[in-house]
Amino acid sequence: MKDEYQQLKNIFRQIANRVEKRADSLTEIKKLEKSKKTTRIGIEGWLKVEAAKALTVENIKHLRNKGADLVVEINGNLIEIELKAMSNFDVTDGSFKKKQADNYLYLCNADDKNKCKNLENIRNWEVVDSHTFNDGVGEWILFMMKHK
Task: Encode pLDDT of 17-55 as tens digits.
Answer: 999 999 888 887 777 767 766 556 668 888 999 999 999
* E-state strands within 95-138: 103-109, 125-134
The answer to whether residues 131 and 14 touch, using CB atoms and an 8 Å cutoff, is no
Closest by CA position to 10, among listed 57, 54, 58, 67: 54
Residue 126 β-bridge partners: 146
Q: Residue 4's pLDDT is what?
A: 83
Question: What is the distance between the alpha carbons of residues 122 and 116, in angstroms, rounded to a whole number?
Answer: 11
pLDDT at 37: 63
Ordered by start, the domain boundaries in the chain are 2-147
Over the stretch 95-125, which tens digit does the pLDDT of each residue have? 555 567 889 898 887 776 666 666 666 667 7
C-alpha 122/C-alpha 144 separation (Å) is 13
82 phi, psi to nearest 5 deg: -90, 135
**63 beta partners:** 70
138 three-state secondary structure: coil
63 phi, psi to nearest 5 deg: -120, 120
Q: State the pTM of this model.
A: 0.85
Write down the pLDDT at residue 79.
92
